[in-house]
């Protein structure tokens, strides 16, 4: 488990993270709108960025010294835009990374083939990095991390920019990896978090709004989530006056899901998206 | 680190840089030709030696700069930096040995042209520090500017200005010896500047990788 206590990061006199405290375990989703400080937090955890105050521990061991997290073998980080050595083949890249980690060049092939198999890229082993799609490149990034066998994997917006098939494949891979590792997934896409995560932290403007289970986040919207059956002609006025979170088209009407403090239509059980939006709305109303 | 790993690292460099890899060796060949031409046309012993200082020594930092520039490409640094923490010293050492060997051959050519009395202890110390400086400064500049173009431009402009004008163009620190030191200050100043440059480079590289 990674414990973050009172972490503050100030850049250009602006608090990017303020007094962030989180307990990260299992498959952990870090959710928040753009600019919430998710990437900054991930980069701090990966030891790539200094912070101003706070401490970070891995289990019982403190891994932050002064204002930086030590770059420990246990933590692997995959940045959002992963691209290395575009002119080399995937195998050449992984072989080199394995050697840099101390593997013997003559003996590392089985391990490389094993991690390539794990990320389901065996048939692309001899393709150049620049010939791979964005999703494939990210899977190479995961293979690279797996060579190191870290117990904690940090993924920054792992599915951003991927097409739907690649996104599903990537999510399944993350789910599988989460069986025996701690995984932190930062995303602004609630669907990814809903599918993968066992625990969620929500950041907004550098502060923690929520930490807990997906069910607890859903419950934030329980008193406010309603569905209305709306004739096609009235949809525009509903959208202009209510907080619409989803529209589902039926043959004779439209089913509109809204967040509302006033009773409207029928109350329904909230989903993660509803809870997340209710939380952000609550934070916004409190300034 | 065993022999096979070292061979792997050199092979990887070769694959990564492609035809750029051989450029420094071509320049070393060109340096020999230039030294012979200068020796034939002038009696000034520092002229062939300027080729060693002003062209061969700076070009000895070529491989490190180009190899590590891949770390600063979009999307690479955050993923790769961790892996290079352990290897950066080994990379610096193996390229120092590779290029140090080539420069040794150029020094032998200098001695053949100028006679062994040319290479006094102060000149030898200066040459060693200059070599060390150019081995480190490229990586240090990369860590500051995070751009191959900017790092190379800074180094190339300084070196070209200094060598082409024999250190007379700008009132900035002068690192080269274009004539035999006439007093202790004319030797001490470049050595001091080189020492400072080396220390600063080591600090910058250390901050980046550890």
Of the residues A90, A96, A108, A149, the best mutation for testing chain B's interface (the one with the most B CB atoms within 10 Å of its CB) is A96
Query: In chain A, pLDDT over 90 holds for what percent of residues?
Result: 61
Q: Which residues contact A180 (CB under 8 A, 6 or more apart)?
A: none
B residues 25-44 near A, CB within 8 Å?
Answer: none
CA distance B145 to B147: 5
The residue among B87, B97, B82 whose CA lies nearest residue B131 is B97
Instruction: With a cut of 90, say whether residue B190 has pLDDT above it.
Output: yes
- The 3-state secondary structure of A182-248 reads EEEEEECCHHHHHHHCCEEEEEECCEEEEEECHHHHHHCCHHHEEEEEECHHHHHHHHHHCEEEEEE
Do A106 and B4 lie within an 8 Å CB cutoff? yes
Task: Give domain limits for chain A.
Answer: 2-212, 222-269
Could you tell me if B84 lies within 8 Å of chain A, comparing CB atoms?
yes
Residues in A touching B17 (Cβ below 8 Å): none
Size of interface A-B (CB pairs under 8 A): 64
In angstroms, how far is CA A20 from the centroid of its own chain?
A: 17
Count CA atoms closer than 13 A to A45's CA, side-chain side: 35
- Give A97→chain B minimum CA distance, Å: 7
Q: What per-residue confidence (pLDDT) applies to B182?
A: 78
Lowest-pLDDT choice from A33-37, A131-135, B80-84: B80-84
For chain B, the structural domain boundaries read 3-209
| Closest residue of chain B to A140, computed from CA coordinates | B79
- What would the pLDDT profile of A223-266 be if each residue is shown by its tens digit? 999 999 999 888 898 889 888 988 999 998 999 999 988 888 89
B118-123: which pairs have CB atoms within 8 A and are 24 or more residues apart? B118/B45, B118/B49, B122/B181, B122/B187, B123/B177, B123/B180
Q: Distance, in angstroms, between A108 CA and closest chain B CA? A: 11
Residues of A within 8 A of B76 (CB-CB) are 83-85
Task: For tokens 């995984």, name the residue.
Answer: A183
Query: The tokens of B189 are what?
Result: 């100043």
Beta carbons of A226 and A268 less than 8 angstroms apart: yes
Interface of B with A in 145-184 (CB under 8 A): none
Pairing of strands A27-31, A53-58: unpaired
User: Does residue A256 contact residue A231 with C-beta atoms inside 8 Å?
Assistant: no
Whether B90 has its CB under 8 Å from any CB of chain A: the answer is: no
Pick from A118, A120, A112: nearest CA to A166: A120
DSSP A16-36: EEEEEEEEE-SEEEEE--TTS
What pLDDT is attached to residue A287? 66
The distance of A104 to chain B (nearest Cα, Å) reads 7
Amino acid A188: pLDDT: 84
Identify all chain A residues contacting B16, using CB atoms and an 8 Å cutoff.
85, 87-88
Distance CA B55, CA A67 (A): 42
d(CA A149, CA A170): 19
- Distance (Å) from the alpha carbon of A42 to chain B's nearest alpha carbon: 11
Q: Is B79–A99 a contact, with Cβ atoms under 8 angstroms apart?
A: no
DSSP helix/strand/coil, A108? coil
Q: What is the pLDDT of residues B17-68, one digit of tens each?
A: 999 999 999 999 999 999 999 999 988 889 999 999 999 999 999 999 999 9
**Chain A neighbors of B83, CB-CB under 8 A:** 97, 100-101
pLDDT at B119 over 70: yes
Q: Hunting for tokens 């100030």 — which residue is that?
A: A10
Chain A contact present for B81, CB below 8 A:
yes
CB contact under 8 A, A92 and B15: yes
CB spacing of A105 vs B4 below 8 angstroms: yes
Q: CB of B65 within 8 A of CB of B136?
A: no
Considering the entire predicted model, what is its pTM?
0.84
Residues of A in contact with B87 (CB under 8 A): 100
What distance in Å separates the CA atoms of residue A47 and residue A12, rounded to the nearest whole number?
20
Average pLDDT value over all residues in chain B? 92
Is residue A220 within 8 A of residue A275, CB to CB? The reply is: yes
Mean pLDDT estimate for chain A: 91
Contacts of A88 in chain B (CB under 8 A): 15-16
Query: What pLDDT score does A41 carry?
Result: 96
| Token duo for residue B134 | 């150019």
Segment A62-111, tens digit of pLDDT: 999 888 898 788 899 998 888 999 999 999 999 999 999 888 998 999 99
pLDDT at B83: 84
Residues of B in contact with A47 (CB under 8 A): 82
The confidence score (pLDDT) of residue A191 equals 87
* Separation of alpha carbons A31 and A188, rounded Å: 6
Q: Which residues from A are below 8 Å from B6, CB to CB? A: none
| CATH fold of the domain at A2-212 | Rossmann fold (3.40.50)
Average pLDDT over residues A185-200: 90
Distance from CA of A93 to the nearest CA of B (A): 9
User: Which chain A residues are closer than 8 Å to B81 by Cβ?
Assistant: 48
């Amino acid at each position: 488990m990674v414990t973050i206590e009172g972490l503050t990061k100030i850049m250009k006199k602006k608090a990017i993270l303020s007094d962030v405290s989180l307990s990260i375990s299992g498959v952990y989703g870090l959710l928040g709108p753009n600019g919430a400080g998710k990437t900054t937090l991930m980069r701090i955890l990966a030891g790539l960025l200094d912070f101003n105050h706070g401490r970070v521990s891995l289990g019982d061991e403190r891994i932050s010294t002064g204002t930086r997290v030590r770059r420990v073998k246990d933590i692997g980080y995959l940045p959002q835009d992963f691209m290395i050595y575009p002119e080399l083949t995937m195998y050449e890249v992984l072989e080199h990374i394995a050697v840099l980690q101390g593997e013997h060049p003559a003996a590392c092939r089985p391990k490389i083939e094993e991690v390539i198999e794990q990320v389901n890229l065996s048939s692309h082993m001899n393709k150049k990095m620049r010939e791979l799609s964005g999703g494939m490149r990210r899977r190479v990034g995961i293979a690279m991390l797996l060579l190191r066998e870290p117990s904690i994997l940090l993924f920054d917006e792992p599915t951003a920019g991927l097409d739907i098939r690649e996104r599903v494949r990537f999510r399944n891979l993350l789910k599988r990896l989460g069986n025996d590792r701690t995984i932190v997934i930062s995303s602004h896409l609630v669907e990814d978090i809903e599918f993968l995560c066992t625990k969620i932290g929500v950041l907004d403007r550098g502060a923690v709004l929520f930490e807990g289970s997906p069910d607890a986040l859903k419950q934030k919207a329980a008193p406010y989530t309603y569905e209305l059956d709306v004739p096609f002609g009235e949809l525009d006025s509903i959208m202009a006056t209510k907080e619409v979170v989803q529209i589902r088209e039926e043959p004779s009407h439209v089913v509109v899901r809204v967040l509302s403090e006033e009773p409207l239509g029928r109350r329904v059980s909230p989903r993660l998206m509803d809870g997340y939006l209710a939380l952000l709305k609550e934070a916004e109303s409190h300034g | 680190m065993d022999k096979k790993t070292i061979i792997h690292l050199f092979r990887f460099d070769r694959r990564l840089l492609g035809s750029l890899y051989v450029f420094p060796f071509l320049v070393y060949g060109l340096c020999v030709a230039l030294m012979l031409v200068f020796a034939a046309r002038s009696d000034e012993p520092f002229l062939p030696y300027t080729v060693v200082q002003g062209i061969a020594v700076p070009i000895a930092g070529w491989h490190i700069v180009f190899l590590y520039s891949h770390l600063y490409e979009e999307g690479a640094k955050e993923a790769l930096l961790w892996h290079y923490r352990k290897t950066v010293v080994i990379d610096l050492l193996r390229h120092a040995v590779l290029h140090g060997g080539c420069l040794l051959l150029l020094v032998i050519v200098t001695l053949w042209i100028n006679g062994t009395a040319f290479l006094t202890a102060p000149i030898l110390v200066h040459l060693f520090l200059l070599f060390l400086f150019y081995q480190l400064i490229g990586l240090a500049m990369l860590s500051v500017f995070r751009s191959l173009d900017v790092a190379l431009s800074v180094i190339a402009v300084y070196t070209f200005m200094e060598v082409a004008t024999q250190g007379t163009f700008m009132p900035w620190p002068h690192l080269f010896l274009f004539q035999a030191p006439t007093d202790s200050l004319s030797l001490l100043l470049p050595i001091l500047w080189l020492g400072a440059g080396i220390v600063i480079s080591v600090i910058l590289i250390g901050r980046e990788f550890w």
